[in-house]
Amino acid sequence: MKVLAFFILALALAAPAFGITFDRCSLAHELYSLDVPMDQLARWTCIAERESSYRTGVVGPTNSNGSNDYGIFQINNYYWCQPANGRFSYNECNLSCDDLLTDDISDSVRCARQIQRQQGWTAWATWKYCNGTLPSIDSCF
Ligand SMILES: *[C@@H]1O[C@H](CO)[C@@H](O)[C@H](O)[C@H]1NC(C)=O
Ligand SMILES: *[C@@H]1O[C@H](CO)[C@@H](O)[C@H](O)[C@H]1NC(C)=O
Ligand SMILES: *[C@@H]1O[C@H](CO)[C@@H](O)[C@H](O)[C@H]1NC(C)=O
């Protein structure tokens, strides 16, 4: 009984409160269906893997400047989305940060692509793992 209780507790701690977890190919398919060009899919899936382990529901640990990063692409709440606590944000994506945590990733994808257009791929600190040659995404299709 004790063992079972421990097991259930461990599961509860391990499971995200909400959100879904993609894998490389399921995310590639979803991105493609949201009009992301085929030749960007390997990059975006690499960034999602590094930023969130493909999980949609993640709010990252608080950054040293007090901001937080949201969702599958870990989008920052000082520039891009409005946090629910009313803290100042430029909110460039004109979104509530909570909209970046949902199972439906269309807001995350729209905002991430806006960031990429405005700032380039280097907006993501994990870009250093995702630049250069990546494994082909073709096997997913
Ligand atoms: C706060 O830190 C995050 C993560 O390092 C960064 O993306 C963001 O640009 C910083 N914001 C400010 C206002 O410095
Ligand atoms: C921002 O979003 C709100 C509500 O979704 C909308 O009414 C408003 O027109 C948007 N503003 C811009 C600048 O797109
Ligand atoms: C990406 O990689 C290429 C080739 O290795 C390199 O020339 C380029 O400077 C890198 N870009 C960034 C932004 O890191």
What tokens appear for 27 in the block? 């995310």
Average confidence (pLDDT) over 55-78: 96
Query: pTM score, two decimals?
Result: 0.84
Domain at 18-135, CATH class: mainly alpha
Q: Is the CB of 133 under 6 A from ligand 3?
A: no
Distance from C-alpha of 77 to C-alpha of 12, rounded to nearest angstrom: 27
The residue type at 2? K
What's the pLDDT band for 78 if we cut at 50, 70, 90? very high
- pLDDT value, residue 138: 96
Q: Compute the distance from residue 127 Cα to the ligand 3 centre, in Å.
A: 10
Dump pLDDT digits (tens) for 79-105.
999 999 999 999 999 999 999 999 999
